[in-house]
Amino acid sequence: MVNATQLSSYIYCPRKLFIGSVLEVKESAKDALVKGRVWHQTYEFINKNEKELVKSISSDKYEDIFDIYRKGFAKFLRNAIIMNKAELKTFEIKLLDLFNDYWPDFEQEAKMRALNVAEFIKEHEIFGDELWNKLTPKIISEQYFKSENLNLSGIIDMIEVHDVDGAELYVPVELKTGKFPTKGMWGGHRIQLGAYLLMLADKGKNVSDGVLRYRGSDDKRVLVMNSMLRDEVLTVARNAQDILNNLDPPDFTDNKNKCAKCSFKEICYDNLEMKRLIDNKR
């Protein structure tokens, strides 16, 4: 079975997928990976604890609601940074600097969610458990899905569950912390998000589109589900599965800029080392 992140790896470089997933060479730790983990863990804390934030609200004033969200989100970001303190120090990343770097994004998230709650309270005049139960959208984190029909699996960063005329609409949201394109999505990210849409639909969930959010951008890049996207995702999944099923290394990528930044480049271009790793798998 192919993991959705492996589809993204295949689009980036099939040979890198082979080295990482077939030869099982582990990527060396990078500061970006640790910082990305902090980013995702903060969102996980937010989504798992938003219920308690909402239930604590007793005012219909936006300023009061935002203050609750702001304090809560600041605590969740601090907790995520502290959880990764040892590795962050390994890369000489100052904890306060990382907080200050990430905080504007999470403060903006707090503003958006607080505004949604404030408008909902003004419309329905409810608080506490009743407010939480009726509030839409609900946001859940780190949900694992597997589809035998599609030969796909994966963990979705976030899912927005919207109440649309009494029916639930599922919107997968993928969070990325790296460099983002001027418009649209990177190819691998688009295929990965498309895979999540297919898996949700295969599980009987009502879906129409997915959202990709790049850190540092206010844009929400939207991917609409259609038959062309489905065919493209399934084709990539078959191609990736072919790589995962055998010990024949794919060709080198034509984009040498990718090689320059790749942690596998020394192994990839070392024929003797590649042969040794492949022989060990036979």
**For 63-88, what is each residue's pLDDT tens digit?**
999 999 999 999 999 999 999 999 99
Choose the CATH number for 2-19+137-244 among 3.90.320.10, 3.40.50.620, 3.10.690.10, 3.20.20.70.
Answer: 3.90.320.10
* pLDDT for 7: 96
Q: Which residues contact 211 (CB under 8 A, 6 or more apart)?
A: 160, 171, 172, 173, 174, 193, 220, 221, 222, 223
**Tokens at 201, concatenated:** 């639909």
Q: Is 179 exposed, middle or buried (0-12, 13-18, 19+ CB in 10 A)?
A: exposed
Where do the domains of the chain lie?
2-19+137-244, 31-134
* pLDDT for 74: 98
The beta strands (E) that lie in the chain are given as 2-3, 138-147, 152-164, 167-176, 209-214, 221-224
Per-residue pLDDT tens, the chain, 282 aa: give them.
899 999 999 999 999 999 999 999 998 778 888 999 999 999 999 999 999 999 999 999 999 999 999 999 999 999 999 999 999 999 999 999 999 999 999 999 999 999 999 999 999 999 999 999 999 999 999 899 999 999 999 999 999 999 998 899 999 999 988 788 888 889 999 999 999 999 999 999 999 999 999 887 777 899 999 999 999 999 999 999 999 999 999 999 888 888 888 889 899 999 999 999 999 987
Nearest Cα neighbor of 79 from 120, 48, 117 is: 48
**Tokens at 147, concatenated:** 């589809």
**Tokens at 111, concatenated:** 């503003």
**For 222-255, what is each residue's pLDDT tens digit?**
999 999 999 999 999 999 999 999 999 999 988 8
Task: Compute the distance between CA of residue 266 and CA of residue 20 in angstroms, rounded to an integer.
Answer: 13
* pLDDT for 159: 96
Cβ atoms within 10 A of the Cβ of 181, count? 12
